[in-house]
Amino acid sequence: MLVVNNLDTFYGKTQALWNVSLRVDEKEIISLVGANEAGKTTLLKSICGLIRPASGNVEFLGKRVDGLTPDCIVERGISLVPEGGKPFTEMTVRENLEMGAYPYKIWKERQARLEQVYHFFPYLKARERQLAKTLSGGERQMLAMGRSYMARPKLCMFDEPSYGLAPLMVKELFGSLVTMNEQGITILLVEQNIRHALEIADRAYLLENGRVILEGAPERFLQNGYVKKAYLGI
Amino acid sequence: MESARVIYRKPFSLGILFIGLIVLSTLPLYVQPYLVILLSFVLMYVIITLSWAIFSGPTRYISLASAAFFGIGVYISAILGELWPLPLVIAAGGLISFILALFIGLITLRLRGMYFIIFTFGVSELIRHSILWWEAKFTGTVGRWVIVVDHTTVYFVLLIIFIITLFAAYLIKRSKFGLALRSIGEQEEAAAHIGIGVTSLKTITFAISAFFMGATGAIMATRWTYIDPAIAFSPLFSFMPVLMAIFGGVGQLYGPIFGAAIFALLEEVLITKFPYYYMLLFGIILIAAILFLPNGLVGLVDKIRKRRQ
């Protein structure tokens, strides 16, 4: 579904991604793990058009999407839940969600989509008219997930959804993630919380210093001596 | 939930708006000419401020290019005034400003914050000096005469432009584009990756707001009979709308309208009563307003409303 080939991305003169290749198949949950500054966020931003890669290409559903503007990429069906959710804090919860359905073709269906989001997260319905800045970290994450869902994505990318959240909340969020996946949405998950990320993943990639150094089934990660030592602390 | 703040409310009822417009449109029948001229002056500032707020209000991109668009309108009026009928001249003033704003928008709207503010100011100064240079080099004059239109006509034209501006502002605010503009003001990157074409939306809105400024410039030119770049592109036309909008508050449409109206009237009163100290008094009032009304008149109204509940 999503194929990333030999991607190199720079910030000015600093190279952040080195020859990164990645494949996400339909209805999969793919986890992309790695430490801080490994290039995980950069990779997501390169895929969704916020940063232009210097070389390499990104294909989505058989068509190249690198070089397109972010709004075109969203219309193709890729959406991103950014780190911390980044809701529009001065808008109400409902307005935030409606903004998710901004792309032209989806705008008309926003009412139906809204009902679905409220079905997923009844919590958001209760706070429909509240300003997003009154929400807690976990609620913001939910709101951002809902906002992405509004855009009718085929592939949804999550940037560290567990960051800064209480363990109970993390569990709930990962639960919603799996529910989303069961609805037929493919998921690319970026996480530092390796244990959780591997638990729900079909396959995983390990990114270090801008390079993919390991890929495969979660079991392979759990058995790998280096991963155990460096990331799992066992 | 007690902390739940409901922010859906009617900004001002349609009835009051309607009565206000009827009073305004019949005013020249029963007041002195002086008042009509004064109200034209007020309307001019109201339109510029309101159209400034269409773009800069939700996006928080503070533009100091209003004088450029207003001035272009003034010059179009001076050039075409004798050749074309008035409505065409006004439309041309708006249209040329619209096109100019598209170009400026494409260049500058990639800048943010302080850089955007300074760039827009630079652009309007650049246009002023370019015209000055052109006039001195090729036409051999500094100023131009403008065909005179009687003050009642000026007043009605301004009133019509005001109504159209208000209507446009209302439509944009209520549509999904209004929400999108607000989301750009809050989190431009988040706005981009939920599928908003940020650059094109900003550019077009910027141009729409410039249209009304240009049209206003085209009609106001006829009030002055003589214009030159210093009059047409006076930096005051860039700064005043910002101050007026801040004074009024930009959250609601009535903010910039009343902010501009009160400021313009205040200026007139101060000029006539204290010709020597008026700028001094004006400055003091402005500082007081910013200190005590950080959210402008809109904020004050909100506060009173909350206290009543």
User: DSSP string covering B177-210, please?
Assistant: HHHHHHHHHH-HHHHHHTT--HHHHHHHHHHHHH
Task: Specify the CATH number of the domain A68-195.
Answer: 3.40.50.300
In single-letter form, the type of residue at position B196 comes to I
Decide: residue B84, CB within 10 A, 0-12 exposed, 13-18 middle, 19+ buried. middle
Chain B interface disruption, residue of A42, A98, A102, A150, most B CBs within 10 A: A102
Q: Enumerate residues 6+ apart whose C-beta is below 8 A from B154.
A: B40, B219, B220, B222, B223
Does the structure show a pLDDT above 50 at B119? yes
Least-confidence region, from A92-101, B37-46, B195-204, B270-279? B270-279
DSSP string, B70-84: HHHHHHHHHHHTTTS
Q: How many CA atoms lie within 13 A of A70 on its CB side?
A: 24
Does the structure show a pLDDT above 50 at A78? yes
pLDDT at B2: 35
How many CB pairs below 8 Å do chains A and B form together? 84
In single-letter form, the type of residue at position B275 comes to P
Q: Angle at Cα B250 formed by Cα B247 and Cα B38, nearest 5°?
A: 55
| A103 contacts chain B (CB < 8 A) | yes
User: For B25-51, what is the mean pLDDT?
Assistant: 87
Annotated domain spans of chain A? 68-195
Q: Please give the share of chain A, as a percent, with pLDDT higher than 70.
A: 100
Does the structure show a pLDDT above 80 at B251? no
Looking at A48-193, list the stretches that DSSP marks H as alpha helix, in order from N- to C-terminal side: 70-76, 93-100, 104-107, 110-120, 122-126, 137-150, 167-182
Q: Enumerate residues 6+ apart whose C-beta is below 8 A from A12.
A: none
Residue A102 banded pLDDT, cuts 50, 70, 90 = confident
Does the structure show a pLDDT above 80 at A70? yes
pLDDT at B247: 86
More confident residue, B204 or A107: B204
pLDDT at A120: 83
More confident residue, B18 or B208: B208
Residue B1 banded pLDDT, cuts 50, 70, 90 = very low
- In chain A, the residue whose alpha carbon lies closest to the alpha carbon of B184 is A88
- Enumerate the residues of chain A whose CB falls inside 8 A of the CB of residue B3: 130, 134
Residue-wise pLDDT tens digits, A28-52: 999 998 888 888 889 998 998 888 8
Between the CA atoms of B254, B260, B264 and B267, what dihedral angle is there, to the nearest 10 degrees?
A: 120
Residue-wise pLDDT tens digits, A150-205: 988 999 999 988 888 888 888 888 888 898 899 899 999 998 888 888 888 999 99
Least-confidence region, from A124-128, A135-139, B3-7? B3-7
Q: Please tell me the distance from the alpha carbon of residue B58 to that of residue A229, in angstroms, as a whole number.
A: 50
pLDDT at B10: 53
Q: Please give the share of chain B, as a percent, with pLDDT higher than 90.
A: 31
Report the predicted TM-score, pTM, of the whole model to 2 decimal places.
0.84
pLDDT at A157: 93
| B9 contacts chain A (CB < 8 A) | no
pLDDT at B50: 94
Residue-wise pLDDT tens digits, B61-102: 889 999 999 999 999 998 888 888 888 999 999 999 999 999
| B194 contacts chain A (CB < 8 A) | yes
Q: Please give the share of chain B, as a percent, with pLDDT higher than 70.
A: 96
Q: Please tell me the distance from the alpha carbon of residue B159 to that of residue B141, in angstroms, as a whole number.
A: 33
- B27 closest CA partner among B43, B46, B12: B43
- In chain A, the residue whose alpha carbon lies closest to the alpha carbon of B183 is A88
Does the structure show a pLDDT above 80 at A85? yes
Residue B6 banded pLDDT, cuts 50, 70, 90 = very low
Q: Enumerate residues 6+ apart whose C-beta is below 8 A from A16.
A: A9, A10, A39, A42, A210
More confident residue, B96 or B60: B96
Q: Within a 10 A sphere around the Cβ of A129, how many other Cβ atoms?
A: 15
| B182 contacts chain A (CB < 8 A) | yes
- A50 closest CA partner among A3, A104, A9, A105: A9
Contact A133, A88 (CB under 8 A): no
Positive or negative torsion for Cα B218, B223, B228, B231: negative
| A196 contacts chain B (CB < 8 A) | no
- A31 closest CA partner among A227, A194, A165, A222: A194
pLDDT at B174: 87
Chain A interface disruption, residue of B59, B194, B198, most A CBs within 10 A: B194
Per-residue tokens: A225: 């001596």
Does the structure show a pLDDT above 50 at B271? yes
Residue A213 banded pLDDT, cuts 50, 70, 90 = confident
Does the structure show a pLDDT above 80 at A26? yes
| B174 contacts chain A (CB < 8 A) | no
Contact B217, B93 (CB under 8 A): yes
Q: Which residue has the tokens 């079905």?
A: A119
Q: Please tell me the distance from the alpha carbon of residue B114 to that of residue A76, in angstroms, as a whole number.
A: 35
Q: From the DSSP assignment, how many helices (H) and strands (E) are in chain A? A: 11, 10
User: For B10-38, what is the mean pLDDT?
Assistant: 79
